[in-house]
């Protein structure tokens, strides 16, 4: 596939890669593309209008919602509802899954999403993102969606991706046939293929973790951080942490590195959500030649039990995640 291919052209030319699809998955990706452009427009003018700061509400996670959280959530849900291409939606911002009644329950797919990852960074003009995960429903077509349609292992995903709103806006996704990145040309509102077949570099030298929580980390993670900092032939690694998982992961996938969000005293089960943060990023990482783990188990093999379930998360170059697991397993 040539660079400068548009996202629309790419979707049409690669429809054969979309398992079971007769056009619905292509329409779903196009709905995400449309919503991403609307959110990008608002992110870019957030400082000029009343879209920064706290909305005054708290989401199901107990986190204060930012105004752009609310806007992004409504935008993506509206784009998906209007096209009647999914039978259900899970969002970080909503307590329960959303049942989409249209088309007589005949839609095949469900989507889970974090509409605006790292939204607290908006106030200081730092990159944020959107994460999405797509599954084929398991309940019979023609019936209302149920929780089991969402509570599937990550290895059942048919597509996953993220949008990073930064110096340029990129949409990166996989349907299980490699990872491709598309950059938005804001002058004409079109995404162009800019990063075909993305792969982690063979070696990485970056580690991303909130070291302010170091004293609360498990001992194996502490030991690994010290290992990263030790002066050796190929070390120390460089520490880079933005605080928006999409941005941190995107950088590490392009340049080579590991992203870590371990369990801690405040979050004994981890802070990141399995279904709509960890699973889609893990799917992308594996398709790019990387690895994602909770420290012991492959992320995509974890069995979810609730839609807002949390998990420790380690993701990046395969050999770096392997090194980390060795440290963690010393204390297992």
Would you list which residues are annotated within the binding site?
A: 92, 114, 116-120, 210, 241, 271, 277
- Angstrom distance (rounded) from CA 30 to CA 24: 10
- Dist. CA 293–CA 321, nearest whole Å: 7
Judge contact between 180 and 173, C-beta under 8 A: yes
Structure tokens at 181: 């990145």
Phi-psi region of 124 (alpha: psi -120 to 50; beta: other; left: phi over 0): alpha
Structure tokens at 312: 């420790």
- CA–CA separation, 206 and 131 (whole Å): 22
Please give the annotated binding residues for Mg(2+), written as ranges: 92, 114, 116-117, 277
Nearest to 328, CA basis, from 303, 302, 300, 294: 294
Contact 313, 259 (CB under 8 A): yes
**Does residue 324 sit in helix, strand or coil?**
helix
Which of the 8 DSSP states describes residue 25? H
Element (H, E) at 320: helix 318-329
Instruction: List all residues 6 or more positions away from 22 whose beta carbon is below 8 Å from its beta carbon.
Output: none
Rounded to whole angstroms, the Cα distance separating 207 from 308 reads 26
Binding-site positions for substrate: 117-120, 210, 241, 271
How many secondary structure helices (H) and strands (E) does the chain include? 7, 15
């Amino acid at each position: 596939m040539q660079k400068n291919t548009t996202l629309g052209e790419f979707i049409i030319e690669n429809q054969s890669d979309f398992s079971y699809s007769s056009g619905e998955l292509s329409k779903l990706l196009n709905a995400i593309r449309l919503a991403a452009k609307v959110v990008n427009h608002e992110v870019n003018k957030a400082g000029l209008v009343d879209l920064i700061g706290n909305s005054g509400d708290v989401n199901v996670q107990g986190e204060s919602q930012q105004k752009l959280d609310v806007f992004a959530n409504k935008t993506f849900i509206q784009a998906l509802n209007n096209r009647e291409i999914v039978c259900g939606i899970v969002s970080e911002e909503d307590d329960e899954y959303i049942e989409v009644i249209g088309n007589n329950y005949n839609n095949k797919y469900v989507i889970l999403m974090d509409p605006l990852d790292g939204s607290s960074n908006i106030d200081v003009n730092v990159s944020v993102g959107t994460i999405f995960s797509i599954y084929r429903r398991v309940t019979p077509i023609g019936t209302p969606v149920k929780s089991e349609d969402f509570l599937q292992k990550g290895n059942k995903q048919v597509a996953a991706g993220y949008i990073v709103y930064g110096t340029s806006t990129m949409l990166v996704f996989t349907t299980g046939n490699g990872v491709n990145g598309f950059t938005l040309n804001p002058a004409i509102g079109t995404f162009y293929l800019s990063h075909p077949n993305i792969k982690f570099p063979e070696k990485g030298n970056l580690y991303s973790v909130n070291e302010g929580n170091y004293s609360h980390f498990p001992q194996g993670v502490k030991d690994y951080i010290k290992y990263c900092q030790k002066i050796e032939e190929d070390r120390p690694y460089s520490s880079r942490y933005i605080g928006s998982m999409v941005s941190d992961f995107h950088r590490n996938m392009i340049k080579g590195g590991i992203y870590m969000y371990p369990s801690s005293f405040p979050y004994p089960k981890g802070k990141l959500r399995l279904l709509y943060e960890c699973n889609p990023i893990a799917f992308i990482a594996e398709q790019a030649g990387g690895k994602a783990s909770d420290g012991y188990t492959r992320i995509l093999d974890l069995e979810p039990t609730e839609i807002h379930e949390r998990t420790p998360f380690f993701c990046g170059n395969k050999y770096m995640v392997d090194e980390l697991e060795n440290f963690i397993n010393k204390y297992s």
